[in-house]
Structure 1
Amino acid sequence: MWSQIANGFMSGFQFIINCGPTVMLPIIITIVGLIFGLKISAAFKSGLTLGIGFAGIKLVLDFMTTNIGPAAKAMVERTHVQLNALDVGWGSIAAVTWASPIIAILIFVILLINIVLLILKATHTLDVDIWNYHHMAIVGIMVYFVTKNVFLAVGSVAVMAIITFKMSDWSQPMVEGFFKIPGVSLPTVSALSSLVIAVPLNWILDKIPLFRKSKFSIKDAQKYLGFFGDSMIMGLLIGLAIGIFAGYDLQKILQLGVSMSAVLVLIPKMTSMFMEGLMPISESAQKWSQKKFKGRKLFIGLDAAVIVGNPDVITTALIIIPLTIAMAVVLPGNRVLPFADLAVVPFRVAMVVALTNGNLLKNIVIGLAVTASLLWCGSATAPVLTAIAKSVGIKLSTGGSLLISSFAATSMIQSYIVYFCFTWHPEFCVPILLIIIALIWYYFDFNKHINKAAEAEEVALKSKNN
């Protein structure tokens, strides 16, 4: 009987997963809202609003892919450079992930890690973004495919989960401070992974006067450029430039310009609907956490889609996209032809923008460094990813390309490091990786405690003087 119940539960869960994020997100958010004390009508309305907002964002991103993808491919073809690993997009990689025979085990591991860390007070992030668990799970699937060792696969996913939830905690002040979204963290690997490169590189750039003193941001550009600094006009100009470099005729150039202008206008509007549905959940979660955890604060872990509508993020991404195409052509060792995932560049640069507080000069330099890592890591793991896709029977249109890749999966530096350590002499690499994680964990949490203590002492001193 219990096995039948378990099978029924798994079948139902798999059905919801197969429906995709636009269906799964409303269901999950409704359940979360009920847990946090919302009335069923309010919880359902919040969930449905989030689902509609997500669907809107996806439609705009698909629209962006449809328009930029062919232009990007045309730009590469004009250079006559042979790149044999086609970027098939994160959606194809997600399909590969969910089709794996060990996916149920890996999803359970991620959920368990989150629950255990919450109980131990080792994280404040309650991750409800189950759809994006595939970013963590694909690492375990690739490790299992290479090593045929399920324990290494589970271990790699556990490490990915721990890193992701801790990075969500550490980056949450940026989400709240820069994007003005209180009570929310972003355990989305596709956004967080950029910080692995961005944090040390930002520290280096701060040592250089040109970057340290630069205060130039998108808002400044709009101020000095006037009419040409408007976000929709900037989108138009960038779209026109991409069309020209792609060798389009005048008609197609104009169409691409208007399409990119539309992207800058539509994504913020879709994101505002996403946030409209989010706020009741966030507020009820804060009240619930204060009651249940006696003052302990919980962050609701959501998809990074909630921040990609920021004008700084979108404009930085639109600048990075054509530079990514150029970099793919000249970067030594690169085999990836950027295509489908050009539309998700905003996810890769979003946390970079928050880290630099909108410093456009830093955003571009760090964004290019992140892009270079995506191309290199994607090139290195394309053969394994291609073999996995074939093994699970996923039919991918590669347009004659020999291999497939993406700006997701183990192309992301955080995922690649974990994958590498668990597949290349894991008996040595894994202990080293765990030691490094422990040291970084201690460094960030220790400094946080020191800063809190200093703030408390300052407040006490002021109270005493008053």
Structure 2
Amino acid sequence: MLEILQEVVDWGAPVILPIIIAIFALILGAGFRKAFTSGLTVGIGFIGLNLITGLLGDTLGEAAQTMVRRFGLSLTTLDIGWPAASAISYGTILGISAIPIGVGINIALLLFGLTKTLNIDIWNFWHAAFIGGLIFGASNSFALAAFSMVAYQTMLYFLGDLSAPTLKKYYNFPNITFPHGTSAPGYLVALPLNWIFDRIPGFNKLKANPETIQQRFGIFGETSVMGLIIGLVVGALAGYDVGGVLNLGVQTAAIMILLPKMVSVLMEGLTPVSDAANKFIKKRFPGRELYIGMDAALAVGDQAVLASSLLMIPITLLLAIVLPGNETLPFGDFSTIPFAVCLMVPLFKGNIVRSVVGGSIYMTTILYITSWIAPLVTQMAENAQFDIGGASSITSLIEGGLWPTLIFVLGARYLPWVISGVILIISLGGLYYLNKVRATKSSLNTK
């Protein structure tokens, strides 16, 4: 069974996601034609997103690498990026078991009314597989690793339910949330940061959302021009010739324009499914709301997310250079930076300055955690028989550096079972409060 599941996973998200969405739409009564075209449209949009985010890594990421070589810097741990990290994560029986575990947890939570999130983003269960692999490497316990994946995925459903109202208000998505391992943790980071920013005199009055910037700076505030400027600056710092600098500027401007259009294609495919899901729930479960759990790729086309992320690429490289004790050379996950900040930006209400400052603070912790976790990632790659190309130490910049990774691995090393158990209990308690206690209070207030 697991071998068949492994083969299906190897098809990749652009194939798996459309199939799941089409099946889901059929179950909801959308009809064959609408279900088929919705799934296919989502697949097309997903491929488009991958092409554009790949361009982001190939252009700005390569320029960042050139800057490193130009200034003669030496960082010993290579950031392999999420595609390699996902392949490593799914490369063992433990890793592939994250999918049935995740589906089982979701069904159980939905049946007991403890979550509103129906997660159809099966491919991204690799985040739980990544955690499980690290826990196994730290503890050599299959049972602890599997239990930690249960706790981790329950935590993501809690974060999905918690963040959904904020995401709906900012992105105007119809009942869609992101129980996404790369993005959801940023929401909890942004909560205290936004509270602090609100209390800094002067800083708390600064308005810097894309609309305000366009009004204040005219043509220089246009999305495409902002991308052009960022590309020109990075190209100049990388020491490119005039042609190279101009090419990087235009390519960065293209990313700023094309990525939102790919998100629009994705949303075109998802909207009929979302409508069918809402009708299905209202008919069979009156008064109950349902969120569709999706890949956070839907959010990365937002102008504030994009502008903040493009600025974060050279900032991340600079942080890697100047932070004492950092060993990670950022590269493979440059294109993943938008995913790390896309749930922070809504809390900052699209304020690019807050997003960049908050993202820089977040990235500082990510670099340190990533450097510390690198031996376990390298060991996990060896266990999965993954070719690391002769590198002595590898890591995944974003996924390996998130705060849940730190907490789960520290727990496995020093308080096995306890920390994972505490996270599971807190997550279940949070879900119970959101969907039972608060929901009951809200219904009483509306009567």
**Structure 1 length-normalised TM:** 0.91
Alpha-carbon distance in structure 2 between the residues aligned to 1:173 and 1:89: 30
Aligned: 1:146 with 2:144: no
Over 3 Å counting, the alpha-carbon distance change for 1:109 and 1:201 in structure 2 is same
Pairing partner for 2:283 from 271, 281, 291? 291
The verdict on how the C-alpha distance between 1:415 and 1:447 changes in structure 2, with shifts beyond 3 A counting, is farther
Q: 1:438 to 1:45 in 2, by over 3 A?
A: closer
2:208 maps to what in 1? 216
Q: Please list the CA deviations of residues 79-127 of structure 1 after superposition, one character each: whole Å capped at 9, or x if unmatched.
A: 3332111111000000101111222332211111111111111110000
1:260-305 deviations in Å (ceiling 9; x for gaps): 0110111011111000000000000011111222221111101001
Contact 1:16 1:23 in 2 (8 A): no
- 1:351 is paired with a residue whose SS is coil
Cα RMSD after superposing both structures: 2.0
From the superposition, tell whether residues 96 and 347 of structure 1 become closer, same or farther in structure 2 (CA, over 3 Å): same
Counterparts in 2 of 1:79 and 1:363: CA distance versus 1, 3 Å: same
Cα distance in 2, alignment partners of residues 416 and 223 from structure 1: 42
1:315 matched to 2:307? The reply is: yes
- Which of 26, 46, 56 aligns to 2:48? It is 56
Q: In the alignment, what sits opposite 1:93?
A: 85
Which residue matches 1:420?
410
Aligned partner of 1:171 in structure 2 is 163
SS in 2 for 1:209: coil
Which amino acid letter does the alignment assign opposite residue 253 of structure 1?
Answer: V
1:3 corresponds to: none
Unaligned 5+ segments in structure 2 are: none
Find the aligned partners of 2:398 and 2:197 in 1 and give their Cα distance: 27
Give me the whole-angstrom Cα distance separating, in 1, the residues matched to 2:126 and 2:32: 29
Q: Which amino acid aligns with 1:380?
A: W
2:152 to 160, 184, 195: 160
**2:328 is equivalent to residue 328 of structure 1:** no
1:296-333 Cα deviation digits (max 9, x unpaired): 11111010011110111100111111111101101122
> In structure 1, how many angstroms separate the alpha carbons of the residues matched to 2:60 and 2:44?
24
Superposition deviation, residue 216 in structure 1 = 2.2
The structural deviation recorded for 1:439 is 6.5
The aligned counterpart of 1:410 is 400
The answer on whether the counterparts of 2:101 and 2:150 sit within 8 Å (CA) in structure 1 is yes
Cα distance change, pair 339–295 in 1 and its aligned pair in 2 (3 A): same
Match of 2:198 among 192, 206, 213: 206
Structure 1 pair 297–175 and aligned structure 2 pair: CA distance change class (3 A):
same
Question: Counterparts of 2:440 and 2:365 in 1: how far apart (Å)?
Answer: 33
Aligned equivalents of 2:134, 2:354: Cα separation in 1 = 33
- The structure-2 alpha-carbon separation of the partners of 1:417 and 1:266, relative to structure 1 and needing over 3 Å to count, comes to same
CA distance in 1, matches of 2:349, 2:111: 33
C-alpha contact (below 8 Å) 1:84/1:336 kept by paired residues: yes
For structure 1, list consecutive stretches of 5 or more residues without a partner in the other structure.
1-6, 461-466
- Per the alignment, residue 377 of structure 1 pairs with 369
Instruction: Look up the SS of the partner of 2:114 in the other structure.
Output: coil
Deviations 1:60-80 (A, max 9, x none): 111111112221112222333
- Measured after TM superposition, the shift of residue 425 of structure 1 is 2.5
Q: How does 1:59-98 map to 2 (within 5 A)?
A: 59-98=51-90
**Secondary structure, aligned partner of 2:118:** strand
Range that drifts further, 72-81 or 248-257? 72-81
1:254 is aligned to 2:252: no
- Shift of the 172–344 alpha-carbon distance from structure 1 to 2, 3 Å rule, reads same
In structure 2, give the amino acid aligned to 1:405: T
Aligned to 1:464: none
In structure 2, the CA distance between the partners of 1:27 and 1:349, relative to structure 1 (3 Å rule), is same
Look up the equivalent residue of 2:139 and give its one-letter code: T
Residue 294 of structure 1: SS of its match in structure 2? coil
Query: For 2:363 and 2:124, how far apart are their aligned partners in 1?
Result: 21
For residues 98 and 297 of structure 1, the distance between their equivalents in structure 2, rounded to whole angstroms, comes to 33
**8 Å Cα contact 1:421/1:433 also seen in 2:** no
The AA in structure 1 aligned to 2:79 is D
TM-score by length of 2: 0.95
